[in-house]
Amino acid sequence: MAQFPNLMAPYTIGPVTIRNRIVSTGHDTGMSEHGGLIGDQLIAYQEARARGGAGLIVLQVAAISPDAFYTSHILQAMDDSCIPGYARITEAIKGQGATVFGQIFHPGREMLGSADGTLGISWSSSTVANERYHVKPRAMTTEVIAKTIRDYADAAERLKKGGIQGIEIVASHGYLPAQFLSLNINRRTDGYGGSIENRLRFFREVLEAVRERVGPEIAVGARISGEDRDGIGLEPDESLYACVELNKAGLVDYLSVVAGSSATRPGSFHIVPPMMQETGYTAPLGRAVKDQVDVPVMVTGRINQPQMAEEIIGRGDADACGMTRSLIADPEMPNKAGAGRVDDIRACIACNQACIGHFFMGAAISCIQHPETGREREYDNPAPAATPRKVLVAGGGPGGMKAAAVAAVRGHDVTLFEAGVQLGGQALLAQLLPSRAEFGGIVTNLTRELELAGVTVRRNTRVDRTLVQTEKPDVVVIATGAEPAATEIEGQDEAHVVNAWQVLKGEVNVGQSVMVADFRCDWIGLGLAEKLALDGCQVQLAFNGSQLGENLMQYLRDHAAGRMFDLGVTLHSYARVFGVDSDAVYLEHVMAQKPIVCEGVDTLVTALGHESVANLEQDLAGLDVELHMIGDCLAPRTAEEAILEGMKVAVAL
């Protein structure tokens, strides 16, 4: 409390007092059960964050009606079958001392999919198409508007019956209330269109209906984008007007301010802003609202450390901070902050790989650093080992570090051996890419986990058969990683061909005109292209996929496309490299099966995947020791799989 007097102070929202200003804001988890109901997995996930000390947990959006069912795993509040699940989750969260609100939601034209694969009918204020999902909505009639308002009130009443302490109307990110409020979208000529007063009418009537239905004992608030950041959606003055007027009318007990819009690719980047976006950048949006209203204001947007949240609240930019991904990465962050254990906090690095990345894959969200997230029922707080054993971990990359830390926490005697001078493996290279320095935080966080767990670390020591025979471990966990795949490109011996690792380590020089050959369609190829372009090279990027960054989550891929355009990088899609000489690179369009000749290229930089470093497995064959392989030495993938496998092995020992 002494270190964070503002952040850890209680505050009041309407009839509810909340223990601190750390908020887990409403976010899709991919954990709903069939039919959009709340089940054991979601309860365990949210209970862990409540137990970790979060002040307020806002449950994810719940559809108010069948035409608001915008994804297959949205929660539903359209009939009474939802009430038992809400009762269970609110009891669990409140039992840990946190406060629980629930979001009720209609996406309007923001329809991502349907239950059976067919396209449904979407509704909006007007027939203005959605750019990102290519949806042309129907304009809501006054009868449909009236029914929708009743649906909001009915849904709010169901959540109240389930024990929810507050109701949040989602008007952020270009969803239905924002579609009415925005002059760029609302083209109506009746009482719900035209003047800004009329455009606010739908939002106002929704809040009035909800307030009347739930009564004074339930807090009622709204989430709204301070700006859509796309130039074709809600404007900042429209958002601020709505906040001020709804506050004057006494219709909101709080306002939750964010940035961005789901309707466009540039706007959607700000829904879950990645590491290339500066931390705390939405604070001015919160301040603009707070200066003109007299209810508490929350602000959300890359607030990943309690020090930052303390500063934002102390400056008066907001009364509370949404720190959702921070709580995904470290559910215990509030308790650690309150106890002054800031060095023990596992800071979110905004990689977006397993949180929002999983959502877009239709899977339950998790965290690459903390794979226990989303798997709380199986892996949260693993039991002490029945029989402590001597464990040797070979390889100090993220997977080996996680395996060592978890095994030691469970009571095993663990020594981690790293052949190099630094722990971190390929994460040390990843952090060298432009706008990816924060990825190095994964090494910092895992190093702290090793220290807290009491793992013995021996650097500059390569594990071999002799060392294992000397150490006499009961278990060896092999986490020796991977190395760049060998290339077999016609003409490479006569040309200047280097690999991605050599460039990032500064071991080679490249010419003025560079071709990057990207097999994986991930961060490596496009990151190298950006780095070399920033270094002043003329860059071409050839990737064996349909689009740039094909294997990255959507927000990252879209941002990268903008960067490539800004930097003048020439892109070649569906391109496989097959030849090179001293002055040209020869590609094949994999679909047309025809050559693409790129002349005037000085250097070919290869990012053509990796090969497992698995020789230790054969070297240890025949020894009386239990062997496990994890991460890239098992099969080249990403840090997420390595860390997950490290955790699983350690829990099983």
Question: What is 570-631 written as a DSSP string?
Answer: EEESSEEEEEE-SSEEEEEETTTTEEEEEES--EEEEE--EEE--HHHHHTTTSSSEEEE-G
The verdict on residue 4 lying in a domain is: no
Predicted local distance difference test score (pLDDT) of residue 113: 67
Percentage of residues in the chain having pLDDT higher than 90: 95
Q: Is the pLDDT of residue 518 over 90?
A: yes
227: containing domain: 11-378
Same domain, 518 and 446: no
Cβ atoms of residues 586 and 595 within 8 Å:
yes
Same domain, 567 and 465: no
Question: Distance between terminal CA atoms of the chain?
Answer: 38
Six token digits for residue 523: 């961060």
Cβ atoms of residues 480 and 633 within 8 Å:
yes
The verdict on residue 6 lying in a domain is: no
Same domain, 604 and 621: no
Same domain, 592 and 617: no
Which amino acid belongs to residue 343?
A: D
**How confident is residue 115, by pLDDT bands cut at 50, 70 and 90?**
low
Tell me the backbone φ, ψ of residue 104, rounded to 5 degrees.
-115, 145
pLDDT digits (tens, 9 = 90+) for 245-261: 999 999 999 999 999 99
pLDDT digits (tens, 9 = 90+) for 22-56: 999 999 999 999 889 999 999 999 999 999 999 99
The verdict on residue 489 lying in a domain is: no
pLDDT digits (tens, 9 = 90+) for 477-493: 999 999 999 999 999 99
For 335, half-sphere exposure in the C-beta direction (CA atoms, 13 angstrom radius) is: 12
Helix (H) or strand (E) holding 467: helix 465-471
Q: What CA–CA distance (Å, rounded) separates 643 from 632?
A: 10
Same domain, 243 and 364: yes
The verdict on residue 169 lying in a domain is: yes
Q: Nearest 10 degrees: CA dihedral of 498, 499, 503, 509?
A: 0
Final residue belonging to a domain, choices 350, 378, 406 = 378
CATH no. for residue 90?
3.20.20.70
Q: Is the pLDDT of residue 610 over 80?
A: yes
Q: Is the pLDDT of residue 151 over 60?
A: yes
Same domain, 363 and 391: no
Eight-state DSSP code of residue 130: B
Six token digits for residue 320: 């509370």
Predicted local distance difference test score (pLDDT) of residue 116: 74
Cβ atoms of residues 257 and 299 within 8 Å:
yes
Cβ atoms of residues 625 and 604 within 8 Å:
no
Q: What CA–CA distance (Å, rounded) separates 319 from 313?
A: 6
Q: What CA–CA distance (Å, rounded) separates 526 from 309?
A: 33
- Nearest CA-CA partner of 204 in 155, 166, 259, 149: 149
Using DSSP bridges, classify how beta strands 16-18 and 11-13 pair: parallel, antiparallel or unpaired.
antiparallel
Percentage of residues in the chain having pLDDT higher than 70: 99
Q: Is the pLDDT of residue 513 over 70?
A: yes
**How confident is residue 114, by pLDDT bands cut at 50, 70 and 90?**
low
Eight-state DSSP code of residue 439: G
CATH no. for residue 423?
3.40.50.720
Eight-state DSSP code of residue 382: P
Q: Nearest 10 degrees: CA dihedral of 197, 198, 202, 204?
A: 30
Same domain, 645 and 536: no
Predicted local distance difference test score (pLDDT) of residue 11: 98
Q: What CA–CA distance (Å, rounded) separates 510 from 498?
A: 8
Report the chain's mean pLDDT, rounded to a whole number: 96
pTM, 2 dp: 0.97
Predicted local distance difference test score (pLDDT) of residue 253: 98
Which amino acid belongs to residue 167?
A: I
Final residue belonging to a domain, choices 378, 409, 427 = 378
628-649: average pLDDT: 98
The verdict on residue 492 lying in a domain is: no
pLDDT digits (tens, 9 = 90+) for 413-426: 999 999 999 999 99
571-597: average pLDDT: 97
Helix, coil or strand: residue 378: helix
CATH no. for residue 508?
3.50.50.60
Same domain, 176 and 324: yes
Predicted local distance difference test score (pLDDT) of residue 117: 75
Q: Which of 110-119, 337-346, 496-505 has the lowest mean pLDDT?
A: 110-119
Q: What CA–CA distance (Å, rounded) separates 599 from 350?
A: 39
556-584: average pLDDT: 97
Six token digits for residue 399: 């997977």
Q: What CA–CA distance (Å, rounded) separates 643 from 631?
A: 7
Same domain, 561 and 644: no
The verdict on residue 357 lying in a domain is: yes
Same domain, 429 and 320: no
For 332, half-sphere exposure in the C-beta direction (CA atoms, 13 angstrom radius) is: 13
Helix, coil or strand: residue 310: helix
Eight-state DSSP code of residue 464: -
The verdict on residue 640 lying in a domain is: yes
State the sign of the Cα–Cα–Cα–Cα dihedral 280, 285, 288, 289. negative
Predicted local distance difference test score (pLDDT) of residue 127: 97
Predicted local distance difference test score (pLDDT) of residue 141: 98
Cβ atoms of residues 24 and 324 within 8 Å:
yes
- Nearest CA-CA partner of 304 in 328, 284, 286, 338: 328
Same domain, 373 and 388: no
Q: Is the pLDDT of residue 1 over 60?
A: no
The verdict on residue 5 lying in a domain is: no
Q: Nearest 10 degrees: CA dihedral of 418, 422, 428, 429?
A: -80
Final residue belonging to a domain, choices 343, 362, 378 = 378
Helix, coil or strand: residue 497: strand
Same domain, 357 and 371: yes
Using DSSP bridges, classify how beta strands 594-599 and 390-394 pair: parallel, antiparallel or unpaired.
unpaired
Predicted local distance difference test score (pLDDT) of residue 461: 98
Number of domains, the chain: 3
